[in-house]
Structure 1
Amino acid sequence: MKNKILSVVALSALALASCKKDNLSSKTGFGAHNTKASYAAAAAMPHKTVTGVQSGNLYFDRDTVYVLQGLVVLTATHNITIESGTFITGLPDADNKPGTLVITRGAQIFANGTSSAPIVFTSPKLVGSATGTPHAGDWGGVIVLGKAHVNAGQKTIEGLALTQPFDNYYGPVSGVTTDNDNSGTITYVRIEFPGYILSADNEINGLTLGGVGSGTTLNHIQVSYSADDSFEFFGGSVSPSYLVSVAADDDNFDFDNGYNGTLQYALAVADFNSTHSRQTNGNSDSNGIESDNNAPAEDGTFTLTPKTHPVLRNLTIVGTESTNSGYLYAARIRRGSEVEIHSSIIMGYPNGINFDGTSSFFTSGVSKVEDSFVHGFTSFVLPSTLTLSSTNATSTDANSNFDAALSQPFYNNGYSSLDFSVTGSSIVPAGAGAFATSTWTTGWTLFGGF
């Protein structure tokens, strides 16, 4: 089967900046890993259990492993500060609610790791709070709620029961939108083996962001082995950078309800052995990017405003080396969502970019794909009749070895290392991809080796 490539504007053979080669552990299945020494050291530290709705500020120091038992909630006017190098994990409470950190509207998180001492949220099986092999969904995740715009009005956040003894809503407060709302800072943080599925379409992701405002700082964050999405944005205007998604069991980046920030410099790598926990009518629905304007129940015409309109710059989205029926689209833009994709590399999915199966929601000059390389085993863009006239896009048949020619981008498929550098034979436009200007994953990320 021929591969299809979209290469927009300039086709270049320039080699781009190289990403650090990361050694991977040998893995026999999705989520099966060896133990890394730093986790063993954390397991030997004192453990402190934290639970419930907090009546004051919290401070987590690096000399203690903190165990979130059930929902740990910071309410308005309260904050949590986490030292660099701190390990945090989660366990279910007596009601089987997963260990989860919730930052509500008006609360703040200050999780400031460093490249040499990142903050690590991880499986309890890796730090001595539980036994067994770590897997996706071993604990809940991190949820941050803010006061920025949401096109369906204030909503309760997914993944938690509708009724809670705390403010479970995100978005405008009493009709007042605060788009520059500041929920704090998360930087140099890894979130590993999270995810919890309460019911269909009601899941905790690795990092869930509801109505989070532009005053919030999010950068250098890795989510690995999430049982649902790695990163999901419900409305809001926060603009994160330097994000890594590894082996998500559903989508890497998901946008909903009017999100319109800018995401720049991000890497997403699919796992060949993913179990694809998210199912729709018995079929998996795993995408590199998924974007909806709103849910059908909120408005069947998908015209709520402001429109979901993520601006995506310098992304590298990598699927698998061969067709895997569990994966669908590198980018699924549906239900009225708009999108801009600039200077990005998208490859390794059965289909590249799907505009909702119809061109009715694609408006040339509003949704854009520019200066990018987009590959699909079957189609690089759907519907096949769609003309990306705003970019004068052209398509070219490619060889099975991918004309994107990244040195070795495929994860958990018999390879011992990862290398996302662009080779000299590539037709990728100059300046495209996550590592066009720097190697920013060094030191704080982890690809295997647990």
Structure 2
Amino acid sequence: MKLRLLAAAAVSLTASSAWAVDLGLDAKCNANGIHRGSVSWNGSTYRRCDLPADIAVAGTVTLPATVSGTKILWTLPSVVTVGDGYKAGKTPETAVPTVLEIQAGAQVAGAPRSALVISRGAQLFAIGSDVAPVVFSSLDGNTTGTGEWGGVILSSWDSSNACNSSVGAECVMPELRRHRFGKQADEAAVAGGYKQPYYFGGYIDEVSTASWDNVSSGSLEYVVIAEAGASQSHHSDHLSGLALYGVSRETYLAEVHIHNSKDDALRLVGGDANLERVWLTCAGGDSIDWDQGFQGDLSFVYALQKNGSSNAFELSNNASNFAATPVSNGSVFGVTVAYANAAPSVGVPFRLQQGTDGNFTDVVVGGEYTGACFGNPAHAQNQSVVAPSDFNAIQYACTDNAGLLSGSSLAFGFSEPTFWAGYTGRCN
């Protein structure tokens, strides 16, 4: 515990000691937003401050909860991109080192199809407290909706087995594109396209791309992400509440509550990020989805599955090459999968597919669920390298249709109450 506290102090110091800058915008918005007047939101009066679409400056841009005593509603009017590391060919040496600091108690509201994207080389320090969390939600002034804005995305250079074959190989986030309009669209048409992809990854090995796999994307502590999961464009790729693309374990992620995501609550693409003390409630898709060689740790997680939702764990390696390396091999410890209904109609607790590995210890699957424990093991898609020895202390009433569980045994899981006072304890 002492080491963990020291690590948290170290990452917090990184944000506070970085060179402070502002964006030269309205003074009423701490010079970092565009003043849009006063709004009534969530039962209080706020000053609405819209963030610009691009925040790419060398230094720390700060979003406080109040400015001169007035509450601020920091608004994402569209996709807001921090840093320029999303561009092709960016390296840790060439990406702009932008730090976005969101202070305790700050409220961030996303418009439809908006998202906050932390690109490679940039950092997000959203550091709340148990009584004053940082809250991301939508513009409608409550947290009862779903898919009302996009979500939060962190990205870095850590390995993805979809793009680690040679130096210069990079992955594209399938859910995001930068759309050009007006004169920019005319210029883009001449250049051959209207959309610019977002890139992540690029790490090959410590000879070719030394230390690209341990660049920190910042810190999230006492953060709520609610009502996310909208599609960023007019297609079917919905964003997740929180998505990590090629994010390393140097990023500190703890005390995070993701609620009412339309699609997946937590998506982990490559990298080896560690997350602890996480609440995932009422997602419409999967509670946890990993793929492309994710090798991080998930500790102390509470997942509440609502009727109609997908799987508690949907875990993959690589859809195009089940044996691609590094093989997804996340470690799961201290998890409770609970159900919002007495007779739940949901996906399976464990869908292990496309060659994934993994390790699961101290997991409680709620006794309300008595269907299959695993996705259809006979289906070619549901191939994994997970073995019975990878499951330890699993408590369940579901049917072990994959022959991976040695029998239900006492487990403690994780059932502590969330820090978020706005959570009702149920799905809307």
Fold conserved between structures, TM > 0.5: yes
Q: Does residue 348 of structure 2 align to residue 329 of structure 1? A: yes
Letter in 1 for 2:100: I
- Whether the 8 Å CA contact 1:195–1:203 is kept in 2: the answer is yes
Task: Label 1:443 to 1:190 Cα distance change in 2 as closer, same or farther (>3 A).
Answer: closer
Aligned to 1:150: 160
SS in 1 for 2:285: coil
Decide whether the 8 Å contact of 1:126 with 1:134 is kept in 2: no
Match of residue 92 from structure 2:
none
- Residue of structure 2 equivalent to 1:352: 373
Counterpart residue identity of residue 351, structure 2? R
Aligned AA for 2:349?
A: A
**78, 81, 85: which is aligned to 1:70?**
78
1:304 paired residue number? 324
Local SS of the residue matching 1:179: helix
Which residue number in structure 1 is paired with residue 200 of structure 2? 170
Give CA deviations for 1:148-186 in whole Å, capped at 9, x if unaligned.
Answer: 111111311132127788771111258626332200000
Question: What is the aligned counterpart of 1:434 among 404, 411, 414?
Answer: 414
Change (3 A) 1:160 1:442: closer
| Cα root mean square deviation, aligned | 2.7
TM-score, scaled to structure 1: 0.70
CA gap of 1:201–1:167, structure 2 versus 1, over 3 A, is closer
Q: How many residues are aligned here?
A: 340
Query: Aligned in 2, Cα 1:201/1:237: closer, same or farther, shift over 3 Å?
Result: farther
Match of 2:46 in 1: 45
Task: Find out whether 1:100 has 2:115 as its counterpart.
Answer: yes
For residue 294 of structure 1, what is the amino acid of its counterpart?
N
Q: Which moved more, 1:166-175 or 1:52-61?
A: 166-175
Question: Is this contact kept in 2: 1:242–1:440, CA < 8 A?
Answer: no
Contact 2:149 2:230 in 1 (8 A): yes
2:391–2:404 Cα contact (<8 Å) kept? no
Alignment of 1:84-233 (within 5 A): 84-92=104-112, 98-126=113-141, 134-153=144-163, 154-161=170-177, 168-172=198-202, 176=209, 178-197=212-231, 198=233, 202-233=237-268
Go from structure 1 to structure 2 and tell me whether the alpha carbon gap of 1:443 and 1:210 turns closer, same or farther (over 3 Å shift): closer
SS, match of residue 43 in structure 2: helix
1:244 matches 2:259: no
Cα distance, 1:342–1:445 mapped onto 2, change above 3 Å:
farther
Range moving further from structure 2, 331-340 or 232-241: 331-340
3-state SS of paired residue (2:42): helix
The partner residue of 1:375 within 385, 397, 402 is 397
CA contact (8 A) 1:51 1:71 kept: no
Amino acid corresponding to residue 369 of structure 1 in structure 2: F
Amino acid at match of 2:213: D
Output aligned runs, 1:387-402, within 5 Å: 387-388=404-405, 393-394=406-407
* 1:447 and 2:424 aligned: yes
Distance 1:267 1:218, change over 3 A: same
Indicate how the Cα distance of structure 1 residues 53 and 166 shifts in structure 2: closer, same or farther if over 3 A, else same. Answer: farther
CA-to-aligned-CA distance 1:240-288 (integer Å, 9 cap, x gap): 100101100100011010001110000000224x5x5xxxxxxxxx001
On the 8 A contact 1:104/1:167 being kept in 2, the answer is: no
Shift of 1:352: 2.0
**Relative contact order (C-alpha < 8 Å, sep 6+): which is higher?**
1
Contact 1:87 1:120 in 2 (8 A): yes
Q: CA deviation at 1:357?
A: 3.7
What amino acid sits opposite 1:234 in the alignment? V
Distance 1:363 1:251 in 2: 19
**Which ranges in structure 1 are unaligned for 5 or more consecutive residues?**
1-36, 93-97, 128-132, 277-285, 396-426
Contact 1:355 1:361 in 2 (8 A): no
- TM-score, length of structure 2 as denominator length: 0.73
Aligned residue number for residue 33 of structure 1: none
Q: Give the whole-Å Cα distance in 2 for the aligned partners of 1:178 and 1:319.
A: 40
Separation (CA, whole Å) in 1 of partners of 2:338 and 2:407: 21
User: What SS does the corresponding residue of 2:148 show, helix, strand or coil?
Assistant: coil
Does the aligned pair in 2 maintain the 1:244–1:266 contact within 8 Å? yes
| Structure with greater helix percent | 2
Per the alignment, do residues 221 and 387 of structure 1 end up closer, same or farther by CA in structure 2, a change over 3 Å counting? closer
Partners of 2:76 and 2:134 in 1: how far apart?
15
* CA deviation string 1:411-440 (max 9, x = no partner): xxxxxxxxxxxxxxxx623xx2014xxx46
Q: How far is 1:54 from its partner?
A: 1.5
Return the alpha-carbon distance in structure 1 between the equivalents of residues 97 and 235 of structure 2: 33
| Distance apart, 1:448 and its partner CA | 5.5
Structure 1 pair 355/260, CA: closer, same or farther in 2 (3 Å)? Answer: farther
Q: Deviations over 1:337-359 (max 9, x none)?
A: 11111011012443223474469
2:359 corresponds to which residue? 340
Q: Is the 8 A contact 1:99 1:140 kept in 2?
A: yes
Q: 2:63 aligns with which of 48, 60, 64?
A: 60
- CA distance in 1: counterparts of 2:407 and 2:128, whole angstroms: 43
Are the aligned partners of 2:77 and 2:114 in contact in 1 as well (CA < 8 Å)?
yes
Contact 1:188 1:444 in 2 (8 A): no
Structure 2: segments with no counterpart, 5+ residues = 1-39, 67-71, 84-95, 164-169, 181-194
SS in 2 for 1:140: coil
Against the structure 1 CA distance between its residues 187 and 116, is the aligned structure 2 distance closer, same or farther, given a 3 Å change threshold? same
